Structure 1
């Protein structure tokens, strides 16, 4: 059962602040697959829902797994502090890209260049890693229904109560 209250304003602000993102899914046999995310924004059509940007060629195994069961886990990590959360949902699916999704890609990459520079990652590497032609950009939409703290430390992996402070 989904709960629109899982995605609090503070959590939504955090996950949409151009963080390092990884989306994971598994097929019905339990085989897991992963792809790097290229941005995240609130879905304007429904409160509590997110739109995840991914490169379709790299995301194909994830997209196939999502098409079978809709289960997704997305990790959002702030590179300079390692502050990390994981959101899980059960209704993930591919949707049509819109101009606001496309417009998010360049600012996301620029911010990640700056964030990863703080840990010594060269700009050229970050730009190559996150490069995605517009025509290859694809959107996964889902409603988070569970949130876990994943910041390294003794409380990593613990479910966070709805409305609690981020780790």
Structure 2
């Protein structure tokens, strides 16, 4: 299955960076709030952000109504930034199993923000979140954009395809050391024939 986020962007989100969550209502009026935690699956296909309910009532209402969500992840020291969007976000209660992710996010943000001149107390206050005030929002990214300041800001990210596994390993010539040489060359004659081409590139007459 194609992966929307590259390993580089998955690592960016996973290490804990500034996270801003937005949505909109049915009249296209925006709502926005800073998340106090975030988590991403190892394959990048599922993201969870944590919001304070008392600070995010309009945002959570808009997500509940429309399912739409846009999240910007930005590294404070480098400004490396990616934005992801989805149309089927869901909300759930925060669970005890979420605690390690919340603690890890706080520690990572304290480290990142310290690099731009603000101490850990500042970040702890900014991300202070009584657990009974938290809600988790989960979604699978459907679109992603490079938002790092510069000439490529705003460009959509292309899906990364997983390495293809050949179904005919017995046909592969072996290289020294036992390495596999398959580049699916044994499939090309059939494809060319189907397109009406000889292997020389000439047209079938």
Q: TM-score range by the shorter chain?
A: 0.7 to 0.9
Matched residue of 1:103: which SS? helix
Q: Distance in 2 between matches of 1:155 and 1:7?
A: 16
Structure 1, unmatched stretches of 5+, are none
Q: Distance in 2 between matches of 1:108 and 1:158?
A: 27
Q: What residue in structure 2 maps to residue 132 of structure 1?
A: 129
In 2 relative to 1, CA 25–128 (structure 1 residues): closer, same or farther, beyond 3 Å? same
**Is the contact made by 2:23 and 2:68 (CA closer than 8 Å) also made in structure 1?**
yes
In 2 relative to 1, CA 82–28 (structure 1 residues): closer, same or farther, beyond 3 Å? same
How many Å apart are 1:38 and its aligned residue? 1.8
Corresponding residue pairs, total: 161
Q: What residue in structure 2 maps to residue 24 of structure 1?
A: 22
Q: Distance in 2 between matches of 1:15 and 1:72?
A: 16
Which protein has greater RCO, CA pairs closer than 8 Å, 6+ apart? 1
TM-score, normalising length: structure 1 = 0.87
- Indicate yes or no: 2:65 matched with 1:68: yes
Q: What residue in structure 2 maps to residue 109 of structure 1?
A: 106
- Indicate yes or no: 2:76 matched with 1:79: yes
Matched residue of 2:36: which SS? coil
* Per-residue deviation, residues 96-121 of structure 1 (Å, max 9, x unmatched): 22222122222211221111111001
Q: What residue in structure 1 maps to residue 143 of structure 2?
A: 146
**Is the contact made by 1:4 and 1:145 (CA closer than 8 Å) also made in structure 2?**
no
Q: What residue in structure 2 maps to residue 57 of structure 1?
A: 54
- Indicate yes or no: 2:142 matched with 1:119: no
How many Å apart are 1:32 and its aligned residue? 0.5
**Is the contact made by 2:70 and 2:85 (CA closer than 8 Å) also made in structure 1?**
yes
Matched residue of 1:105: which SS? helix
TM-score, normalising length: structure 2 = 0.72
